[in-house]
Amino acid sequence: MSSKLGTHVSQMVVVATAVAVMATILLTFFRIESTTPTTLTIINLIVLGAVVLLTTAIFMRQTPISYRVAIVGFPSSGKTTLIVSLFGEAFDRRISSFRMIPKGATTIDRINSGLARLQMGRALGPTQDQDLFAFRADVRITRFPLPVIYKVEFGDFAGSASQLFSQEDVMPLPHGSDFFKWIADSDAIVLVVDLGRYLMSLETRKQYVVKMTTALRATWQHFLDVNEDRRGRVRRHPLVLAFTKADLLEIVKDEDPASVQSKITKWGFGVEVPKVHEVDSQYLSKEGVSVMNDFSELIRYFEGESGRFKVVFTSSFALSNEKRLGLDELMAALLPK
């Protein structure tokens, strides 16, 4: 901690003071040399502009902009796996548009242990209430004239907490809870739909679609409600409807319902995870259209509500062009323009 403190204090105080002192000496020198007030004013403006540019460049590197991404979904819908896989893709440089560096010992430990677990073919297991945690990363985006660094936090919540947020009829909303406040103040929202539950059986599919449509619409409406004073700005925030476990769409292909159910139970909700494999993108796109048709009411609603709404199919185990399905697209949709 002491080294961090030293770095910040020296950067903020020493640089600011040194720059101001040097500029003052410069101005005093020009005041002595200058004969006309106009020349002095121009010199003043030039020095001031240079000081502002220099210090902005230095401090913007040290004080990245806070950016919160809330990932909301029902229990075991793959929220933690999605976050861990996003970091994994960034480590493998498969997400090319920006650099993502995990920040803080806890985040680094959780990400690496999560990735190791997935590589060993074991599921991450459901997040517990005591695990409420924000994964932190510095994301550097190249912009003109200076690159911008965002301090991105991915809020990982137990699915049971998300349920409280979205379903008023289940339990009273935990309006005072840290979970609720965090989501209310977030800059981007990912609403997760679990394709495992959707594909489980044809009989319950309609019921699941209705349940998710109601719950996710209510989540968005609560989000707008608590942000009453900044609704316009909130509507310009990224809003992503992420269909997780998209690799399971392949299982439905040429399989009988009983086999589909057992495979989905095993790969979607079991203790094991599928092997990472290349998928038939064309088939998944076709199936994706069918899924989107079922959720068309919800999609239309969000398209009308948010200026930056996007639907993404993601999978931590399906590769498309050697990249994990939809993760690049998800990050591009989430980050600020």
Partner 1 sequence: MHVILPTLPFTLSGFIRLVITSWQLSGAFSASELSICVALLALFVNQSLVQHTELLENDDKRADIAAPAAGFLVLAIILLISFALIVTLESISNVYKLDTFGPTQSVDDFVYLFSVIVVGCAILVQRSYRLKARL
Least CB distance to partner 1 at residue 225 (A): 19
DSSP state of 228: G
Least CB distance to partner 1 at residue 50 (A): 10
Q: Taking CB under 8 A as the rule, does residue 336 contact partner 1?
A: no
Q: Taking CB under 8 A as the rule, does residue 65 contact partner 1?
A: yes
Burial tier of 207 (Cβ tally within 10 Å: 0-12, 13-18, 19+): exposed
DSSP characters over 244-303? E-GGGGGTTTT--HHHHHHHHHHHHHSSB-PPPEE--HHHHHHHHHHHHHHTHHHHHHHH
Task: From 20-28, 139-147, 229-237, 287-295, give the range in contact with partner 1 by CB under 8 A.
Answer: 20-28
- Residue 94: CB partners within 8 Å, gap ≥ 6? 322, 323, 324, 327, 328
For partner 1, the closer CB: 11 or 281: 11
DSSP state of 13: I
**Choice from 52, 116, 170, 171 touching partner 1 (CB under 8 A):** 52
For partner 1, the closer CB: 149 or 199: 149
Structure tokens at 116: 């190791």
Would you call 188 helix, strand, or coil by DSSP? Answer: strand
Residues 84-113 touching partner 1, rule: CB under 8 A, are 103-107
Q: Taking CB under 8 A as the rule, does residue 64 contact partner 1?
A: yes
For partner 1, the closer CB: 135 or 313: 135
Angle at the Cα of 162 from the Cα atoms of 303 and 207, rounded to 5 degrees: 65
**Choice from 99, 117, 140, 151 touching partner 1 (CB under 8 A):** 151
Residue 257 preceded by cis peptide, ω within 30: no
Least CB distance to partner 1 at residue 320 (A): 32
The site for partner 1 (CB under 8 A) is made up of 1, 4-5, 7-9, 11-13, 16-17, 19-21, 23-24, 27-28, 31, 47-48, 51-52, 55-56, 59-60, 63-66, 103-107, 132-134, 136, 151, 153, 155, 178, 181-182, 185
